[in-house]
Amino acid sequence: MRLIDSFKKAFSKPYKTISVAQAKELLGSGATLIDVRSAQEWRSGRAPQAKHIPLDRLQTSTAGIQKTRPVIAVCASGVRSASAARLLATQGYQAYSLRGGMSAWRQAGEPVR
């Protein structure tokens, strides 16, 4: 049984993947939204409350992200945000990845600027 538990722990996600509705709820409670897309993608439209921290920069520094608040990572489709959330979770953050990324955000009718 211990071996199975070890495998589960080794392969489990240290973060949660959440929907747009769940993200909105967390944001309403003070969570931080970070957009890990490239500068060009960021300029094409972003969630108004998002902070821009490209994934490559996040991999070298988490400066400016408070550990006392949950952190939601968003990208275009959810792949890079999953990497960002995994990275943040391993550094002690309560981390989430937005399922579907900005595509899901737009599809849900959430504001984009």
At 12-65, the pLDDT tens digits run: 788 999 999 999 999 999 999 999 999 999 999 999 999 999 999 999 999 889
Please answer whether residues 54 and 17 qualify as being in contact, where contact means their C-beta atoms are separated by less than 8 angstroms: no
Tell me the whole-structure pTM to 2 decimals.
Answer: 0.90
Cα of first residue to Cα of last residue in the chain, in angstroms, is: 51
- Is the model's pLDDT at 1 over the cut of 70? no
Residue 87 a catalytic site member: no
Q: Residue 39 is encoded by which pair of tokens?
A: 């500068």
Catalytic-role residue among 75, 89, 95, 98: 75
d(CA 69, CA 20): 18
